[in-house]
């Protein structure tokens, strides 16, 4: 199911020193590097088809702390944009990647811009896919994010019932793409026990619900960095995504130089249109 080279790195700095970040590092070490960033509640498994479509590139796909094969963060408030970004930057520095293209979906978008804030000289280009890197003037989140803040009930549903990883198929254009038995099991497996299910709820609550939310400041810094970024960009969108399809027009307006590829995929477009993502990566590399 995942025929790629994998590794694990023990963090040495900050509050997560000693914790493990698992990652894919597939391809020739000297090939152009592509860093793939997933979101909630997935892991690097999500990128396997895109990696297969980029045989001439070095593809690095980390598992965010608390997801995939990375170490669990024990408390909901351990999950912040800055804490995740610091861990990702430490990993990328340890892998000695001089330059890389960032490919980001869902929460991967804000993680990518936070990396850009920290290592602007390393980012050679960016591909955004069904994500949001633009902070609304009045942030509220979607119904999904508002539900995650309901006391007791949200904890029961997310941690007790394994939501939303058991229903990923529901946000797809082609629901069969994530209903195959082995594929569905691969997404549920890292979160198979209640004690491992902190991250999906924490990441849902990381979406701002007002101007004083802790995520607002790092999101603003990331947005400002990206709007000043002069390197090549591309947008790849799944228009049947019930969560973020409507975010595309405002990203097109904000980044008019970025070519746009629209598809009939859903939220996890890596499962449905991996070649469209790979083509955008190659285009960004060529323009860079």
Catalytic residues: 106, 241, 267
DSSP per position, 245-268: GGGHHHHHHH-TTS-EEEES--S-
Handedness of CA 24, 285, 128, 268 (dihedral sign): negative
Classify residue 12 by burial, with Cβ atoms within 10 Å: 0-12, 13-18, 19+.
exposed
Contacts of residue 140, defined as CB under 8 A and 6 or more positions apart, other chains included, come to 146, 209, 210
Rounded Cα distance, 211 and 89, in Å: 27
> What is the phi-psi region of residue 32: left when phi exceeds 0, alpha when psi lies from -120 to 50, beta otherwise?
beta
- Tell me the two tokens of residue 246: 């409507």
Contacts of residue 214, defined as CB under 8 A and 6 or more positions apart, other chains included, come to 80
Residue 140's alpha-carbon distances to 107, 206, 216, in angstroms, are: 16, 11, 12
- Tell me the two tokens of residue 209: 């619900």
Q: Are 68 and 43 in contact (CB under 8 A)?
A: yes
Rounded Cα distance, 242 and 206, in Å: 19
b/e per residue 169-189 (b: at least 16 CB within 10 A)? bebbbeeebbeeeebbebbee
């Amino acid at each position: 199911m995942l025929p790629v080279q994998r590794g694990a790195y023990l963090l040495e700095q900050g509050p997560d020193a000693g914790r493990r970040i698992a990652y894919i590092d597939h391809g020739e070490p000297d090939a152009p590097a592509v860093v793939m960033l997933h979101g909630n509640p997935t892991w690097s498994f999500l990128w396997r088809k895109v990696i297969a479509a980029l045989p001439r590139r070095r593809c690095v796909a980390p598992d965010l702390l608390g997801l995939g094969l990375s170490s669990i963060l024990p408390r909901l408030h351990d999950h912040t944009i800055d804490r995740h970004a610091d861990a990702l930057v430490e990993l990328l520095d340890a892998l000695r990647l001089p330059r890389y293209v960032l490919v980001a979906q869902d929460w991967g978008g804000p993680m990518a811009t936070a990396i850009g804030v920290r290592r602007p000289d390393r980012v050679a280009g960016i591909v955004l896919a069904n994500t949001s890197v633009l902070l609304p003037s009045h942030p509220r989140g979607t119904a999904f994010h508002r539900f995650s803040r309901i006391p007791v009930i949200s904890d029961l549903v997310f941690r007790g019932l394994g939501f939303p990883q058991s229903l990923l198929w529901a946000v797809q254009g082609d629901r069969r793409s994530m209903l195959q038995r082995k594929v569905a099991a691969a997404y549920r497996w890292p979160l198979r026990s209640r004690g491992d299910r902190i991250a999906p709820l924490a990441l849902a609550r990381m979406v701002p619900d007002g101007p004083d939310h802790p995520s607002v400041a790092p999101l603003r810094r990331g947005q400002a960095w990206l709007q000043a970024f002069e390197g090549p960009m591309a947008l790849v969108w799944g228009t049947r995504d019930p969560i973020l399809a409507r975010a595309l027009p405002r990203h097109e307006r904000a980044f008019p130089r970025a070519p746009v590829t629209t598809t009939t995929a859903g939220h996890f477009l890596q499962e449905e249109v991996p070649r469209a993502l790979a083509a955008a990566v190659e285009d960004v590399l060529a323009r860079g």
